[in-house]
Amino acid sequence: MIANEIKEKLRAIVGAENVLDSNIDRFGYSYDSSFVPLVPANNPDVVVRPLTTEEVSQVMALANEHGIPVTPRGAASGRTGGSIPLAGGISLCLDRMTKILEFDEKNMMITVEPGVRTVDLYNFCAAKGLFYPPDPASWKFSTIGGNVAENAGGMRAVKYGVTSNYVMGLEVVLADGTVIQTGGKAIKNVTGYNLTQLFTGSEGTLGIITKVLLRLIPMPKARNTLQLMFYSLDDACATIHKMLQSGVVPAAAELMDKMSIQAVARHRKLDIDQAVEACVIIEIDGDNKEELDKQAEQIATIARGFNVAEVRIAQSKQEEEDIWAIRRGLSSAVGAMAPNRLGEDISVPRNEFPEMVRRIRKISEKYNLPIAVYGHAGDGNLHPSVLCDLSNPEEAERVHKAVDEIFAEALAVGGTLSGEHGIGITKRPYTISALGEGGIRVHKAIKQALDPKGILNPGKIW
């Protein structure tokens, strides 16, 4: 527990109203959007909500002096437990740092504080004709600081890349309170090590991000949305594969298997043919509407070559939204199918996507566990969801083995443990198999170098 004397110092830094230590507050900051069980051991001793970099710096200096663990937190929308304060100490919540500090229209860049919500950033830029593409599923409540810390992805990654592709520079408060700046507005920049990319995706283990410089791109002027239904998952995969090989780069290419589709159908009372085994949603965008119409027809032709059951090309904004509603409702619809849902986030080389889906189906049969599969087929990032009841110990055992095998198979086809959710707590046991002993040693050496007392987000990644 943190001594009252230290709590007093924290109150002096951020103001008494921004230091929370009631039991209910501590509980409120003990969990995130992952399936890590709720346990009192994960309560922070105190929640601290700074407003400025200077306050963050003072909090870190104090914590470092006393060896107090600090777990940074944005909106706690993470899926792997990254913001859960495993070792107690301070939950450092950056939700008050919500300023848009500079909008540089000429260089098409924006500087924001970490607590700005992703959707607010998107809307702010869109109103000025500029586009911030990364769109993690949680973008309506996730914060930019969290997006950077986890290197969040999203559906548009296939064409536009992930958060790290937009981060030009950072302000970071180190474990001892030192404030550093990385990167900058120069597009080409090879001065020193690429610290910007080292901190991006480091899951709060190397420093606290207090400012983010992001590049923006022009907003595409037109968009087409297609929904393709297939009687076979293989045909769906083959269509996506051939589309990508033909040079069409979609803004999104999402795939859902039958279990996912039927879950949404039940949830949203949609009538979807039981014979349909896979649904693919493709969005293409660009500046030339005619060109896009041609591309849509090209995709439809490819799909017809693979025995497509239904091709629907949205003819209105409303129809676009109807199509996307299926995909957007997926996570909660699948989650409602069983007491527990273990949603994973593996990522494989793009051409291994169909093979990985086949291997997941084998695992599902082997362990007699329903596994709904959906994901960003365009970039090889899958979200298999194991539907289960973890209160049944025998079933929990099977789930555990199935998840182990999913990770092993992902690595076996040249993939990795996480495409966009991070490692956090939930994938920690598998890190060694992905990074190897030498790789882990390098991670630990860097961590030790930047956070010698190990106070920053302890218990994560490895």
Closest to a copy of itself by CB, 15 or 414 = 414
Give the nearest distance from C-beta 74 to a copy of itself in angstroms: 16
Closest to a copy of itself by CB, 287 or 365 = 287
When asked if residue 202 is in the footprint of a copy of itself (CB under 8 A), the reply is yes
List b or e across 255-276, with b for residues whose CB sees 16 or more CB atoms inside 10 angstroms.
bbbbbbbbbbbebeeeebeeeb
Residue from 12, 126, 194, 332 that binds a copy of itself (CB under 8 A)?
Answer: 194
When asked if residue 44 is in the footprint of a copy of itself (CB under 8 A), the reply is no
Q: Give the count of residues interacting with a copy of itself (CB under 8 A).
A: 77
Distance in Å from the first CA to the final CA of the chain: 25
Q: Restricting to residues 299-358, which ones interact with a copy of itself according to CB under 8 A?
A: 347-351
When asked if residue 435 is in the footprint of a copy of itself (CB under 8 A), the reply is yes
Closest to a copy of itself by CB, 68 or 149 = 149
User: Interface with a copy of itself by CB under 8 A: which range of 25-33, 287-295, 297-305, 328-336?
Assistant: 287-295
Residue from 15, 39, 102, 245 that binds a copy of itself (CB under 8 A)?
Answer: 245
- 365-329-159 Cα angle (round to 5): 90
User: Interface with a copy of itself by CB under 8 A: which range of 112-120, 270-278, 331-339, 410-418?
Assistant: 410-418
Q: Restricting to residues 366-395, which ones interact with a copy of itself according to CB under 8 A?
A: 376, 379-381
Closest to a copy of itself by CB, 37 or 438 = 438
Residue span 80-119 as binding mask against a copy of itself, x where in contact by CB under 8 A, dash where not? ------------------------x-xx-x----------
Q: Restricting to residues 169-188, which ones interact with a copy of itself according to CB under 8 A?
A: 174, 178-182, 184-188
Question: What are the residues facing 308 on neighbouring strands?
Answer: 230
- Total residues found in the chain within this entry: 462
Give the nearest distance from C-beta 57 to a copy of itself in angstroms: 11
DSSP for 293-327, written as a single string = HHHHHHHHHHHHTTTEEEEEE--SHHHHHHHHHHH
Give the nearest distance from C-beta 267 to a copy of itself in angstroms: 27
Kindly tell me the sign of the dihedral angle through the C-alpha atoms of 175, 180, 185, 190: negative
- 375-378-381 Cα angle (round to 5): 40
**CA nearest 383: which of 429, 326, 322, 330?**
330
Residue from 26, 49, 327, 421 that binds a copy of itself (CB under 8 A)?
Answer: 421
User: How far apart are the C-alpha atoms of 261 and 334, rounded to whole Å?
Assistant: 9
Closest to a copy of itself by CB, 323 or 435 = 435
When asked if residue 290 is in the footprint of a copy of itself (CB under 8 A), the reply is no
Which residue is it, tokens 């507005």?
185
For residue 385, give both structure tokens: 């969801």
When asked if residue 294 is in the footprint of a copy of itself (CB under 8 A), the reply is no
When asked if residue 462 is in the footprint of a copy of itself (CB under 8 A), the reply is yes
Residues in contact with 137: Cβ distance below 8 Å, sequence separation at least 6, in sequence order: 154, 331
Kindly tell me the sign of the dihedral angle through the C-alpha atoms of 260, 308, 349, 159: negative
**What separation in angstroms does the CA of 459 have from each of 48, 130, 147, 168, 378?**
20, 39, 20, 29, 33
